[in-house]
Amino acid sequence: MATIALARGWPAPELLPGDEIADCARAALERDGGTILAYGPPGGYGPLREWLAARHEVDPGRVFITNGSLQGLVFLAQVLAPGRRVLVERPTYDRPLKILRELGADIVPLDCDDDGLDPDALERALAAGDPPAFAYLLPTFQNPSGRTLTLERRRRVAELAREHDLLVLEDDPYGLVRFDGEALPLIFELSEGTTAYSSSFSKTVAPGLRVGWFVLPEETARTLEAAATATYITPVQLGQATIHEFISRGLFEPNVERVSSLLRTRRDAMIDALDRELPSARHSNPEGGYFVWAELEDGVDAADVQKRAEQAGVTFVKGADFGGPPESLRLAYSFVSPDEVAEGIARLASAVPVAA
Ligand SMILES: Cc1ncc(COP(=O)(O)O)c(C=O)c1O
């Protein structure tokens, strides 16, 4: 029996546009190989930087392209976080938590509910101590919860950022992967570009190309470019030029639609299976992204369930790894087929103790 990986927040192979990427890489090299194969600017491949700048309506000098967005977060954290308070959502993406911990940041978790971050918790944290280095927020289809911050709360967060001169980093790799509903304005847009933004082509094109980007205050962009130069001299321009070619050929938007439609079916399969197999669990109902967050009945420990689930042939990540409560779990529907999603949830249900 093959294990079903609901732990893996990766795109399934059929989500990756391999043939188009192969053509685009060749075309980019033929057209601009002299630039792409040489060392280049630390902030990334010029034409992609300009495209991103136009998309965000900022000067290209504020755009910083990195080898995946996580690398940029490492630079930002290295420069700003050591010994300082960093505000995060609870739960939040586990890798930044590890990075911040290792750098000796004072991590301040802020409470969230079904509508995302509670802005009152943000306000209280801002009133309570030294000014934070930054706030790391995931307002759209959050990893791990799949939740999305409401418009009203986005406005409050943008206002609080302005009032307290707080650097908000809005990490948004999933925002374009929307299946239902209307896109909400970014905090970056509501703050009129005074906050910071990061995203990635990992979920909209392919993670193996390792292309993420940041829109930062000008001075922070220069500081991070210096960190990039000291780390890898120049980011991988071939991936960036391949993405630029992909965009120039008009392949980007159709690919996002294709990916979203494949993921919608998987999300539906997961929600149906949860309602059928685990009716006692509360779960999020994401309008996009990769993840569903589930909370088992009080007193059920997801760590115990995880061991039994692995024996039953399904993996997930326990919510505690993201700072969530013991009964919570993150279920990714991105990596396996809709049938496997349904079978995975049935196996999970067999590992959950029946209430007395
Ligand atoms: C919320 C979030 N931010 C950043 C990343 C890292 O993305 P990248 O592949 O661009 O480094 C991920 C990857 O899963 C993610 O879930």
Torsion of CA 266, 302, 146, 244, to 10 degrees: -70
Ligand 1 first shell, C-beta below 6 A: 9, 68-70, 93, 138, 143, 171, 173, 200, 202, 207, 212
Q: What is the mean pLDDT of residues 199-209?
A: 98
**Bridge partners, 194 (sequence order):** none
Task: Provide the 3-class DSSP secondary structure of residue 216.
Answer: coil
- What is the length of the chain? 356
Site to probe by mutation for ligand 1, drawn from 16, 65, 67, 93 as the one with most ligand atoms within 8 Å of Cβ, is 93
Angle (CA) 325-331-336 rounded to 5° is: 165
Percent of the chain's residues with pLDDT above 90: 98
pLDDT of 356: 52
pLDDT, mean over the chain: 97
Cα 202 to middle of ligand 1, angstroms: 7
- pLDDT category at 201 given cuts 50, 70, 90 is very high
Q: CB neighbours of 304 closer than 8 A, spacing ≥ 6?
A: none
Q: What is the mean pLDDT of residues 247-259?
A: 98
Over the stretch 217-247, which tens digit does the pLDDT of each residue have?
Answer: 999 999 999 999 999 999 999 999 999 999 9
| pTM score of the predicted model | 0.97
pLDDT of 341: 98
Atom of ligand 1 nearest to the CA of 212: 10
Which amino acid belongs to residue 196?
Answer: A
- pLDDT category at 266 given cuts 50, 70, 90 is very high
CA-CA distance, 87 to 104, in Å (whole number)? Answer: 14
Q: What tokens appear for 252 in the block?
A: 């980007």
Asked if pLDDT for residue 129 goes beyond 90, the answer is no
pLDDT of 282: 97
Short-list 50, 35, 139, CA closest to 93: 139
Q: What is the mean pLDDT of residues 38-44?
A: 97
Cα 197 to middle of ligand 1, angstroms: 13
Phi, psi of 116 (to 5 degrees): 90, -155
Q: How far, in whole angstroms, is CA 68 from its chain's centroid?
A: 11
CA-CA distance, 112 to 203, in Å (whole number)? Answer: 24
Site to probe by mutation for ligand 1, drawn from 202, 263, 322 as the one with most ligand atoms within 8 Å of Cβ, is 202
Q: What is the mean pLDDT of residues 323-352?
A: 97
Task: Provide the 3-class DSSP secondary structure of residue 295.
Answer: strand
pLDDT of 354: 81
Short-list 102, 108, 43, 46, CA closest to 78: 102
pLDDT of 188: 98
Q: What tokens appear for 305 in the block?
A: 């369930």
Q: Strands 134-137 and 85-90: what pairing?
A: parallel
Q: What is the mean pLDDT of residues 276-295?
A: 97
pLDDT of 15: 97
Task: Provide the 3-class DSSP secondary structure of residue 279.
Answer: coil
Would you call 253 exposed, middle or buried from its count of C-beta atoms within 10 A (0-12, 13-18, 19+)? exposed
CA-CA distance, 274 to 194, in Å (whole number)? Answer: 41
Which amino acid belongs to residue 67?
Answer: N
List % helix, strand, coil for the chain (3-state, nearest 5): 50, 15, 35
DSSP H helices, 62-171, are: 69-80, 94-102, 119-128, 151-164
Task: Provide the 3-class DSSP secondary structure of residue 184.
Answer: coil
Atom of ligand 1 nearest to the CA of 9: 14
Site to probe by mutation for ligand 1, drawn from 10, 71, 145, 200 as the one with most ligand atoms within 8 Å of Cβ, is 200
Over the stretch 48-96, which tens digit does the pLDDT of each residue have?
Answer: 999 999 999 999 999 999 999 999 999 999 999 999 999 999 999 999 9
